Amino acid sequence: MTAELASKGRVLVVDDDASLSEMLTIVLRQEGFESRVCARGDEAIEAFREFRPDLVLLDLMLPGKDGIDVCKEIRDESGVPIVMLTAKSDTVDVVVGLESGADDYVVKPFKPKELVARIRARVRRLDAPTHEALTIGDLSIDVAGHSVTRDGQPVNLTPLEFDLLLCLARKPWQVFTREVLLEQVWGYRHSADTRLVNVHVQRLRSKVEHDPENPQIIVTVRGVGYKAGTS
Amino acid sequence: MAEIGALRRGLTFWRRSIQARVVVSTVLLSAVVIAAVGWFLLRQVQEGLVDHRRDAVLAEAANETASANDQLDDFIGVDTDTSRQLEDLFAPLRDAGTARGFQVVLAGPIDAGGPLATQGPRFSPDDLALSSVPDALVVKMSTASKPQWTYTRITTTDEHGERVQGPGIAVASQIVLPADGKTYTLYYLFSLEEAAETQALVTRALLTAGGLLLVLVAILTWLVTRQVVTPVRLARRVAERLAAGELQERLRVTGEDDLARLATSFNQMASSLQKQIRQLEELSRVQRRFVSDVSHELRTPLTTVRMAGDVLHDARVDFDPATARAAELLQGELDRFESLLADLLEISRFDAGAAQLDVEDVNLVDVAHRVVDMTRALADQRGVAVLVQSPDHACLAEADVRRVERIVRNLVTNAIDHAESRDVLVRVEGDDQAAAIAVRDHGVGLAAGESAMVFNRFWRADPARARTSGGTGLGLSISLEDTHLHGGWLQAWGRPGEGAQFRLTLPRRAGQVLRQSPIPLVPEDSQELV
């Protein structure tokens, strides 16, 4: 009967630990996600192309190819949300993972509900879109079409970056603290790692700013957070 | 003030510079020796010169007296005019004196007595002052009959009418004048000017030589000590650099002397230090790597177990009661296992020195409110009210907000755990030097000596006491390590039955040394009992 149930989404699990992968599959199936397992880093991109998942769960330590490299490969092809599974919460690993394109990370050992919450937050954007047209700086945002254009030229953003930009653009008068952004964009109820926000704002700036060193569209408000540029 | 400063600098230089001390002491010692030798030499020269001259003078005087006596013998019975005879006696003596450079005074007759001036003397040359003949000699001659001599100062008047004094010898001898049969005294005044000049010359020469010798000694000592001190100073500089962590720093070895061997030994020491430090660094690196590996290896299976436990826990309504309870226990213990693992890993990170600070300005008032919000569920469950008492201004400290929050959370949950349903007060205070949070409970309190032990790993106040909150026993140890990382203080106060207070003090600026905390360690409501 599960086959008839409309899948909430497709998740590719890239992890070399067979038991964990199987357990993840079980939990994800219970939550209504369809999943496939890939155990090797060098086979991940093939599996990705074949399975066309809505989200990738990616372990950082993989045989064949490093998780960071897999992350970069997938990001080159697609903006599909990537959630890293990491055993290390040390600064460097997490930041390198986020900089290579991961949207979010979960530190092992995680609670299954926590993981599912993270996955839901990343795939919820499949919900019905609203018809809205916004501008931020010299960018125009088509909310329904999930596209951002500058002078008619499309700017290529991942869904997370799109959400982040949208969040700022919807309330240009408001300064968003990192905690608020974590809640609105990532779906965290409790305070989490604010490095997520920092890294993704940097990535977003590198795509939308004319001069990322001197940002005009996403402005830092010292000691508080970020807001949309006034220009 | 300036003089004191200069004096202190001088003293510091004196204390620090071996070179200065060696040079100064050598010069002082040499000066003493040179002075002694010089003084001895001078005495010898003086005695030699004067004695020689005295002997010559005495011989000459005797000679003159003898020839005068010869002359007087010729006068016997020839002439009886006293003044003529005296004149005849004196004239050749005067001529001889003028020719050979001495002065003659003829005085007498001796029974006239009184000072020389009243004895009607004849003398030559005319510019001689009679005071040149010492009174003591005159007195002596009034009784003695043998020739006498003494040192004196000869006073003469030069061509400009000025009186000139010089050292001299006065020799006196007596003659009997045939004319009146009375005894007259002849005083010969010989100048010692020449000897004095020679002596002055020798003195000058000696002084100059001594001075030059001292300068030479100073320069020599300076050079010699420099040869020894320079390598020592180089070694000091290299040692300082080694101490600062530049382990590749070495001394240059030249030659085979003692200093070269010192340099060789020094370098060997540096190499062995470097090796050991490298080994320790390697060990620390291996340790860190091990912790990281263990972390990864343990976490992956734990994740699987955790998920499996969750699945079982969610499905427990379908199980028979025993299995359902087992699933619940599994869930609870997994939580404990997880936090224990996390704490152990954190502790080993501290032990490996791998913990890093990520500092920013943190307002402890915000931290206190956040932590109280976070722990509200636990507090409600225990029926404990957690109150925050904070000033209107922000209490800022440069700190790692994640770690500070962890410390405060630990203190607050600890307090809730031991509060025995009484209120817990979180007090925040800060000034421009430090910021502090004190967490006060009114529970069982701490026995004497326990306030230091609470920070020990796995320490429990009462081993028999139920582990109510399921804490890992590492919370306060981690908090203490976190505090030390900030250069702060974490202290406990407690009294049995009166509760306890834990105080965290952080310096306002990272790296600043703490001097005092804005909150007293012993709470005010208990101070009268101390």
Are B367 and B348 part of one and the same domain?
no
User: What residues contact B456, with CB distance under 8 A and at least 6 apart?
Assistant: B477
Domain for residue B7, yes or no? no
The residue with greater pLDDT, B369 or B347, is B369
Domain for residue B5, yes or no? no
**Chain A: residue nearest B354 by CA?**
A90
Q: Does B265 touch chain A (CB under 8 A)?
A: no
> Could you tell me the residue range of the domain that residue B298 belongs to?
259-352
In contact, B344 and B366? CB cutoff 8 Å: no
CB contact under 8 A, B307 and A112: yes
User: What integer pLDDT is reported at residue A125 of this predicted model?
Assistant: 59
Mutate to test the interface with B, among A14, A16, A20, A177 (most CBs of B within 10 A): A20
Q: How far apart are CA A136 and CA A171, in angstroms?
A: 10
* Secondary element (H or E) of residue A41: helix A41-51
Domain for residue B491, yes or no? yes
In terms of Cβ atoms closer than 10 Å to its own Cβ (0-12, 13-18, 19+), residue A23 is buried
In this predicted structure, the answer to whether residue B29 has a pLDDT above a threshold of 90 is yes
pLDDT interval class at A191 (50, 70, 90): low
The full DSSP string for A16-38 is S-HHHHHHHHHHHHHTTEEEEEE
Show which of B319, B336, B352 is a domain's final residue.
B352
In this predicted structure, the answer to whether residue B177 has a pLDDT above a threshold of 80 is no
* Tokens describing residue A88: 């290390």
In this predicted structure, the answer to whether residue B466 has a pLDDT above a threshold of 70 is no
Reported as a single tens digit per residue, the pLDDT across A74-98 is: 988 888 899 988 876 666 777 888 8
pTM exceeds 0.90 for this model:
no
Q: Check which CATH number belongs to the domain holding B427 and give it.
A: 3.30.565.10
Q: Write out the E strands in B290-401.
A: 360-363, 386-389, 396-399
Reported as a single tens digit per residue, the pLDDT across B41-78 is: 888 988 888 888 888 888 888 888 888 888 777 776 66
Are B90 and B227 part of one and the same domain?
yes
Are B302 and B266 part of one and the same domain?
yes
A183/chain B closest Cα distance in angstroms: 16
Q: Check which CATH number belongs to the domain holding B267 and give it.
A: 1.10.287.130
Are B266 and B135 part of one and the same domain?
no
B297/chain A closest Cα distance in angstroms: 8
Domain for residue B517, yes or no? yes
Reported as a single tens digit per residue, the pLDDT across B364-416 is: 999 999 999 988 988 898 888 999 998 988 888 998 888 899 999 999 998 88
**Chain B: residue nearest A224 by CA?**
B361
Chain A partners within 8 Å of B338 (Cβ): 109
Are B207 and B69 part of one and the same domain?
yes
Show which of B187, B209, B244 is a domain's final residue.
B244
Domain for residue B138, yes or no? yes
Q: Which of B295, B308, B311 sits opposite A88 (nearest CB)?
A: B295
Q: Does B356 touch chain A (CB under 8 A)?
A: yes
In degrees to the nearest 10, what's the CA dihedral of A31, A157, A78, A196?
A: -50
Q: Does A91 touch chain B (CB under 8 A)?
A: yes
In this predicted structure, the answer to whether residue B338 has a pLDDT above a threshold of 90 is no
In this predicted structure, the answer to whether residue A188 has a pLDDT above a threshold of 90 is no
Mutate to test the interface with A, among B294, B297, B304 (most CBs of A within 10 A): B304
Q: Check which CATH number belongs to the domain holding B157 and give it.
A: 3.30.450.20
Arithmetic mean of pLDDT, B296-313: 87
Reported as a single tens digit per residue, the pLDDT across B87-112 is: 777 878 888 887 887 888 887 776 65
Q: Which of B306, B356, B361 sits opposite A109 (nearest CB)?
A: B306
**Chain B: residue nearest A30 by CA?**
B311
**Residue B128 DSSP code:** B
Task: Write the Ramachandran bin of B133: left for phi over 0, alpha for psi from -120 to 50, otherwise beta.
Answer: beta
Domain for residue B252, yes or no? no
Are B17 and B92 part of one and the same domain?
yes
Chain A partners within 8 Å of B341 (Cβ): 109
Q: Does B160 touch chain A (CB under 8 A)?
A: no
In this predicted structure, the answer to whether residue B119 has a pLDDT above a threshold of 80 is no
Nearest residue to B65 (alpha-carbon basis) of B155, B160, B175, B208: B175
Q: Does A108 touch chain B (CB under 8 A)?
A: yes
In this predicted structure, the answer to whether residue A1 has a pLDDT above a threshold of 50 is no
pLDDT interval class at B523 (50, 70, 90): confident
Chain B partners within 8 Å of A108 (Cβ): 299-300, 302-303
Nearest residue to B93 (alpha-carbon basis) of B183, B222, B188: B188
Are B281 and B429 part of one and the same domain?
no
B454/chain A closest Cα distance in angstroms: 28
Show which of B306, B331, B352 is a domain's final residue.
B352
Are B60 and B203 part of one and the same domain?
yes
Chain A partners within 8 Å of B302 (Cβ): 108-109
Nearest residue to B296 (alpha-carbon basis) of A102, A62, A69, A103: A62
Reported as a single tens digit per residue, the pLDDT across B468-502 is: 555 778 888 999 999 999 999 999 988 888 888 99
Domain for residue B249, yes or no? no
Are B191 and B82 part of one and the same domain?
yes
CB contact under 8 A, B299 and A17: no
CA angle B320, B325, B331 (to 5 degrees): 130
In this predicted structure, the answer to whether residue A128 has a pLDDT above a threshold of 90 is no
In this predicted structure, the answer to whether residue B521 has a pLDDT above a threshold of 50 is yes
User: What integer pLDDT is reported at residue B530 of this predicted model?
Assistant: 45
Interface of B with A in 310-349 (CB under 8 A): 310-311, 338, 341
Q: What is the mean pLDDT of chain B?
A: 83
Reported as a single tens digit per residue, the pLDDT across B404-451 is: 999 999 999 988 888 888 889 999 998 888 999 999 988 888 887 888
Arithmetic mean of pLDDT, A194-209: 87
User: What integer pLDDT is reported at residue B110 of this predicted model?
Assistant: 66
Are B321 and B449 part of one and the same domain?
no
Are B270 and B185 part of one and the same domain?
no
Arithmetic mean of pLDDT, B131-148: 77
Number of domains in chain B: 3
Chain B partners within 8 Å of A24 (Cβ): 307
User: What integer pLDDT is reported at residue B483 of this predicted model?
Assistant: 92
Are B269 and B183 part of one and the same domain?
no
Reported as a single tens digit per residue, the pLDDT across A26-56 is: 999 988 899 999 999 889 999 999 999 999 9
CB contact under 8 A, A26 and B304: no
Domain for residue B4, yes or no? no
In this predicted structure, the answer to whether residue A13 has a pLDDT above a threshold of 80 is yes
User: Which ipTM score applies to this complex?
Assistant: 0.78
In this predicted structure, the answer to whether residue B266 has a pLDDT above a threshold of 90 is no
Arithmetic mean of pLDDT, A124-152: 76
The full DSSP string for B205-245 is HHHHHHHHHHHHHHHHHHHHHHHHHHHHHHHHHHHHHHHTT
